[in-house]
Structure 1
């Protein structure tokens, strides 16, 4: 017998929320409340998304008896505060990337999740739910490319800034290409089975410090260009290029090995064995959106589809559906968010010092071992 789905409380009114709420409703969830730091934003979102309750007070959502699942898409400065409060009173939590502003905040989230291990404490790294990423992981495990030697990732997109000055303009507040897009890349590397980053090198630049609406005393300090290198524990070299000053959105992931290569372009996947004469199409993303699922067109296609499949995971998890062994549904838990924060911090230090920097992940105060315990989903 299928279990009843929990009521949902949503924090934030960013474009992802306008995609997420209709999908949640389509999958059977009841969205009971929405929060924003600004009353007019909360009221507008509640009206447009047909949510019965809106507020500017965090406790008004967290303490509601008809809300058991908290979904957080706020500025990163609020991730830890809301997550820890929700988990401590027994609520499930799904939190947007990157999971706080630093390792200290991420560590608080990890510890709060460990206190109630039966609760879901999950990061919303939705790209790992895409079918082409799941297939790429499977083929890598089956030695389609042989021993992996290089992974090259390139992302070009339009500016992530809003029309007026906000936290997105400040890297210290979680804005920038590294934090918002690079965090997804770091997560995918772990999801695909490449291993953890040992050392990193980064060049972070703000190419456009002012816009037509942002200038004067308050200028943009977040990076719109990120050129990254990661040396992984298994010996694989990863190169990443992110440019958020272009039009549209494209993401290419190339995995090279001793026996061939795999190329993920957007939601598609192709590959070639060393002895083959041409590429073979392994997965073609031809799925269309339903009208209700295309409520927001502000997100790139692959991010929208990732969110849709993440919601399918949530529905199955709370319905008591047993995942199949080859299921694409493999969530990123809070300790993954802590690891990603450690990589981001190392990259920021590398960009400042212009040197390779060792990645150190702290699980306990005073720990410098760089070891992270990876929890399995229960």
Structure 2
């Protein structure tokens, strides 16, 4: 049976978007291109919300978050606002009965992520996933399967190198401020922490990291304004089953993007260059192309691909795959709000987001102490006391 756009709207009435940044524009274009209605938009000011709503013909806009969450036609809330609002908005949306997709990271600290996890556990019938789209790209799916099937033996090392241009815009905003969630570690490092765990099936037990802000002012951000968000980051992770990971994020590669993720095992290695997969066994002297990135971006979606450093091409393609999977999960059910979990089985949950946030916190703690720091997940809070689970 072929489902038309109008059929889809009876299953998922509409999406409410919370945010107005560069990522929000790409997201709205992507949703509209596949026939998903965006019916409500929140912005930090009425003017920002009004301008973006007019540009994308969104019928309702507001500067009050609750008005989006309570909108009768909103069945799913996509949270793209600054990170310090993620936990509050996501957990409140679930409490109202809305499905939620949340941008990375889960917040500024573990407590934000714990709030999201608690809400997701309380409302298990609702979608509660993060937008870690790399999980849906064919090269990453195949890599995960090959590792699970033992094709490279026992994994003992993962090496990640990512180089890109500055994430900053021409205005001073939250991206410039480490205390508001800006910086390479939060914006792209959260994706890397998640994908390493997804691929090798191991989580970090302890970390050691270093963050640097080399460019504190530029020709657009100067005077009394100073940039405090990191533009370079390197960290190591010891994983629970003995493997190690080393990650370097470099924001001083203007106008370009390069990402390499290498997983080494006792019998070979796998290398993902952007979205192409290469492999090499221990007996081979050269790597072999196992899977080329041939994902075609439909014409209807190309106009949403305005260049943005925080969403490089592989990540954009992952977002497309995630959006398609989300649409399919609702298309499989005929009743409004119902969904099938199989198409989004690879998606990162709020539990995964809590793990990522825990690692982020430990890396920042290590940057200050100069020592290895344990990754301890805050499981719950009672009577003001925190309980930890290593």
TM-score tier (shorter): over 0.9
Mean CA deviation greater in 276-285 or 113-122: 276-285
Query: Which of these residues, 322, 332, 353, is aligned with residue 348 of structure 2?
Result: 332
Distance across 1 between alignment mates of 2:279 and 2:200: 18
Q: Which runs of 4+ in 1 moved over 4 A?
A: 321-324
Query: Which of these residues, 150, 154, 163, is aligned with residue 161 of structure 2?
Result: 154
**Can you give the 5+ residue segments of structure 2 that lack an aligned partner in the other structure?**
334-339
Distance across 2 between alignment mates of 1:114 and 1:148: 32
Helix, strand or coil: the match of 1:330?
A: coil
Cross-structure match for 2:330: 318
Helix, strand or coil: the match of 2:201?
A: coil
How well do the aligned residues superpose, as a CA RMSD in angstroms?
1.7
Cross-structure match for 1:250: 258
Distance across 1 between alignment mates of 2:354 and 2:166: 26
Residue deviations 1:115-154 (CA, integer Å, cap 9, x gap): 1110111111111111111111011111121111210000
Mean CA deviation greater in 145-154 or 49-58: 49-58
1:87 aligned to 2:94? yes
1:183 aligned to 2:183? no
CA 136–367 in structure 1, closer or farther in 2 if over 3 Å, else same: same
Distance across 1 between alignment mates of 2:341 and 2:372: 40
Cross-structure match for 1:119: 126
1:208 aligned to 2:196? no
Do 1:194 and 1:232's aligned partners in 2 also have CA atoms closer than 8 Å? no
Aligned length: 369
Query: Which of these residues, 31, 34, 51, is aligned with residue 24 of structure 1?
Result: 31
1:231 aligned to 2:238? yes
Distance across 2 between alignment mates of 1:73 and 1:127: 18
Helix, strand or coil: the match of 1:153?
A: strand
Cross-structure match for 1:297: 306
Mean CA deviation greater in 77-86 or 362-371: 362-371
Distance across 2 between alignment mates of 1:323 and 1:177: 31
Residue deviations 1:198-240 (CA, integer Å, cap 9, x gap): 0100011101111111123220111111011000001111000
Helix, strand or coil: the match of 2:228?
A: coil
1:284 aligned to 2:292? yes
Helix, strand or coil: the match of 2:377?
A: coil
Using the TM superposition, give the Cα deviation of residue 17 of structure 1 relative to its aligned residue in structure 2, in angstroms.
2.2
Distance across 2 between alignment mates of 1:190 and 1:152: 13
TM-score normalised by L of structure 2: 0.90
Do 1:362 and 1:368's aligned partners in 2 also have CA atoms closer than 8 Å? yes
Using the TM superposition, give the Cα deviation of residue 314 of structure 1 relative to its aligned residue in structure 2, in angstroms.
0.8
1:135 aligned to 2:123? no
1:362 aligned to 2:378? yes
Distance across 1 between alignment mates of 2:99 and 2:233: 34
Mean CA deviation greater in 298-307 or 259-268: 298-307
